[in-house]
Amino acid sequence: MRTGGRFGHTEEPVDTLLARTNYFRETYVYGEEVFSPDAAFLMDHDRLVTAARRLHGRPVIEPSILYANVMVPGQELAVHTDVPEFRGANRKTTPQWLIVVMHHSGLFSEWQMPIATGICYFGGGEGGELAYYPDGPGGDARVYRPRHNTGVMLDTDSVFHGVDRVRGDEAQLPLITARQRLGYAGDETWEVSDADGETVAKYRTDEIRLSVSWKAYCFSDQAERDAWRAHSDDLTLGTILDRLEADLRQRGTLAGERPPDAAFGKMLIDAYIRFPAAG
C-alpha cells in the first residue's frame, strides 16, 4: 500500500489498490486436513518432490500444504516473502507478521523449518508474471512468464516475489471487495458473488490467472523429521519476543521499557524487513 507495488503505482486510490490485491484463494490440503480429495494427488507428485530435494539439498520431503490463487484482470500480488515456520511457531499459533520478522531477523535459524514451494500454472490468462529477487531485495527482479501445465520451485520464505498485473478488461475491478467468492459456473465462465449470493462480475476462463501452490518441509534425515513431529525444543512466544528485544537493544534501536504491543510490532517490522525498491 505504501509503495504502489512493484512499479510504484502510488497515484492510485487506496480502494483501487485494495481491489487489485483482493485475489481469491482456496485451500485444498493443510497438514492432515484434506479439503479437496480431487486435488490431493498433487501432494506426492514425483516432479515436485524431486525439485524440492534439489532446492534445499535435503532428501526427506514432507508435503504439507496445497492451495490455489486465482486473479482476475487488473489484480496483482504485492512483492513479499511467504510466512515461514519454526518449531513451535507457525501460522496456527503465532501472528504471521511476527513469523516473517523472525525469519528476516536471522535470530532463529536453528529452529527454522526449510520449506520448498512449487507454483503450478494451469489455463490461460495474459500477464500475471512471477517476479522474484534471487539476489535479495537490493538486486534486480527476474521474471517468469507462466505457461499452462508448467511450474517453478523456489524458497518463497526467503526470496522476495510477487505477481505482476493480470492483463485484460479492468472494467469490473472496482466491484471486487473482501468476503466475495469466485466460482466456476460452467461453459468456461467464472462468476464473482457477494455475501448474498448475487453475481457481481463474470469472467471467461482465458481471462483469469490460476496457480496452485504446493509446500513441503525439507529434512536432512528421518531423525530431524521425528524431532519436528515430537515438538522437542519448540520455541515459546516469550522466548521469541525476549530475543528480538535483546537484539534491538544491542543495535541501539530500543532503550528503556519495551513499548506497548502495537508500537513494538511496528518497531520490529521496520527494523528487520527491507522490501525491494519499486521499478
Task: Report CA-CA distances (Å) from 226 to 2, 110, 176, 232.
Answer: 42, 16, 44, 9
With CA atoms as reference, report the closest residue to 271 among 107, 101, 103, 133: 101
Question: What is the domain extent for residue 196?
Answer: 14-93+112-233
Query: Looking at the predicted structure, is the pLDDT value of residue 278 above 90?
Result: no
Residue 48, pLDDT score? 97
Average pLDDT estimate for 81-108: 92
Total residues belonging to the chain: 279
Express each pLDDT in 120-141 by its tens digit.
999 888 999 999 999 988 899 9
Average pLDDT estimate for 62-80: 93
**Distance, CA of 19 to CA of 22 (rounded, Å):** 5
Question: All 3 cell numbers of residue 17?
Answer: 489498490
Query: Looking at the predicted structure, is the pLDDT value of residue 234 above 70?
Result: yes
Residue 182 lies in a domain: yes
> Confidence band (pLDDT; 50, 70, 90) for 184?
very high
Average pLDDT estimate for 12-28: 88
HEC per residue, 75-98: CCEEEECCCCCECCECCCCCCHHH
Residue 76 lies in a domain: yes
CATH label of the domain that carries residue 87: 2.60.120.10
Name the domain count of the chain. 1
Global confidence as pTM: 0.85
15 three-class SS: helix
